[in-house]
Amino acid sequence: MEKLIKEFLHAENMLQTRRHFLNTCTTGLGVAALSSLMGGCFPNKSGENQAMTDPTLPKTPHFAPKVKRVIYIHMAGAPSQLELFDYKPELQKYDGRDCPQEFLEGKKFAFIRGVPKMLGPLAQFSQRGQSGAYISDFMPYLPEVADDLTFLKAMYTDQFNHAPAQLLMHTGSPRLGRPSLGSWAMYGLGTENQNLPGFIVLASGGRSPDAGKSVWGNGFLPSIYQGVQCRTGADPVLYVSDPHGMSRDIRKQTIEAINEINRQQYEEVQDPEILTRISQYEMAFRMQMSVPEVMDISKEPEWVRNMYGAEVGDASFANNCLLARRLVENGVRFVQLFHWGWDAHGTDQRLSLDGGFKDLCQITDRAVTGLIKDLKMRGLLDETLVVWGGEFGRTPMQENRDGQTLPFKGRDHHLDAFTVFMAGGGLKKGMSLGETDPLGYYGVKDRTHVHDLQATILHLLGFDHEKLTYFFQGRPFRLTDVAGKVIKPILS
């Protein structure tokens, strides 16, 4: 009751704000000026008021979509494409030699200084499936689904530091403040299940991505569209459970009273963030029942858990992959998985390519393969898009620091070439697009930028990436900013 009284007093105080004065006590010129400065409060260029509806309700995309939902698997730290998918036998011949000067002149690296040595691939490669895709022995399970994969082998980016590169990959900008890909998908499509968030995030590996929660943030979009981070265990979402001593009936009555105040305030100021607040209170109440149910992997048959390598009660990447399937199966629109630890510089055993990096491959390979197989068995893969990749690639040179070779095998950050693979509806299966030079340094054929990948993901969801916009601070913004082209050769 005390909290309800505080909410009421807060609402009363809000009526004394300058925004309230400009909106109700002037001729309207004040609110017009304010709307041009506070574009997030009036998302339409004309300043039209939104209808009093739930902003997460399902919406119609620009055209018929190829997929209904996305599972984006981000390996934070950037896995080495040269040990996984970009087979370069010529690089082995240069192992231990000084790096050619043309690779160094005019280039900036995160850590390499002076003239580093070239480093041959540390894994064995074989062609897999009928498609003949090159996959290394670091990933023993993935060949089982090789013919379901679509590779982009000449991806490039503009950023060689982790946080800006992760922001660019997920928000379209290396700077803070832009909505994430999942938020744009929610904004454009809404959600299929009103009892669950439409955009859910699952993190593993012991740490969050370098860019923090901004990579699943809503930016200038209403906050209802931000990703909701869930945890494995009895309390998947923090602060959703009823406080001690409060019954569910009292909680329901409290929320109804609070939202009645919010509705009255919305009628006063027409701020869409109030609709977000109403939706979030109601969603949190519904989530108390729905989230624990869908997050309980003990309900899965043992053979399914074994396919992923999942264990009941673990907070693991394998469990998160199984949860991703359960979430999309229950109508969640966008599931984002982050697994930290892929920054294989070679500074110690944990960050070495033939040590900690290889171990990470073993940990994650089985679960990703299990996810794709499971989706396919259930008839979900044709209407789901699975994306796997990091924020940039790794150099064909062994990393050095201050001109000194490191004691373990590692590679520096590299923005000119890396590999992403996808699986699911609307794609040509068993296809590889893009080619790098014989040493794996530059993309020499069918290069694709981060913005191109984003445009393609939106296209598969039924959107023209140039038309999915949000008016903010005087102009329409979009995920791909002023760039990006749909990667048409990979579309079926």
DSSP state of 178: P
84: CB partners within 8 A, 6+ apart: 123, 135, 136, 138, 139, 361, 419
Q: 123-148: per-residue pLDDT in tens?
A: 999 999 999 999 999 999 999 999 99
One-letter amino acid for residue 207 of the chain: R
Looking at every residue in the chain, the average pLDDT score rounds to 87
Confidence of residue 36 (pLDDT cuts 50, 70, 90): very low
Taking the model in full, what pTM does it have? 0.84
The three state secondary structure string of 24-93 is HCCCCHHHHHHHHHCHHHCCCCCCCCCCCCCCCCCCCCCCCCCCCEEEEEEEECCCCHHHCCCCCHHHHH
Residue with tokens 């981060």: 450
Say what the pLDDT of residue 401 is: 87
Mean pLDDT along residues 192-218: 92
Query: What is the average pLDDT across 327-347?
Result: 96
Instruction: Identify the pLDDT of residue 38.
Output: 39
Higher-scoring residue by pLDDT: 191, 390 = 390
Tell me the average pLDDT across 225-234: 78
The pLDDT value recorded for residue 252 is 67
- Hey, which bits of 77-161 come out as E strands? 125-128, 133-136, 150-156
**Mean pLDDT value across residues 481-490:** 96
Q: What is the pLDDT of residue 21?
A: 53
User: Cα dist. 6→12, 154, 242, 285 in Å?
Assistant: 10, 56, 19, 20
SS3 234: coil
Are residues 200 and 327 in contact, defined by beta-carbon separation less than 8 angstroms?
yes
Query: What percentage of the chain carries pLDDT values higher than 90?
Result: 69
Any idea which of 223-227, 284-288, 431-435, 467-471 has the lowest mean pLDDT? 284-288
The CA R_g of the chain, rounded to the nearest whole Å, is: 24
Q: What is the rounded average pLDDT of the residues 373-393?
A: 98
Q: Please say if the pLDDT value at position 34 is more than 70.
A: no
pLDDT band at 69 (very low <50, low <70, confident <90, very high): very high
pLDDT confidence of residue 57: 87
pLDDT tens digits, 81-115: 999 999 999 999 999 999 999 999 989 899 999 99
CA distance 151 to 206: 28
CA geometry: angle at 223 spanning 218 and 226, to 5°?
45
Q: Which of 45-49, 64-68, 174-178, 410-414 has the lowest mean pLDDT?
A: 45-49
Confidence of residue 236 (pLDDT cuts 50, 70, 90): low
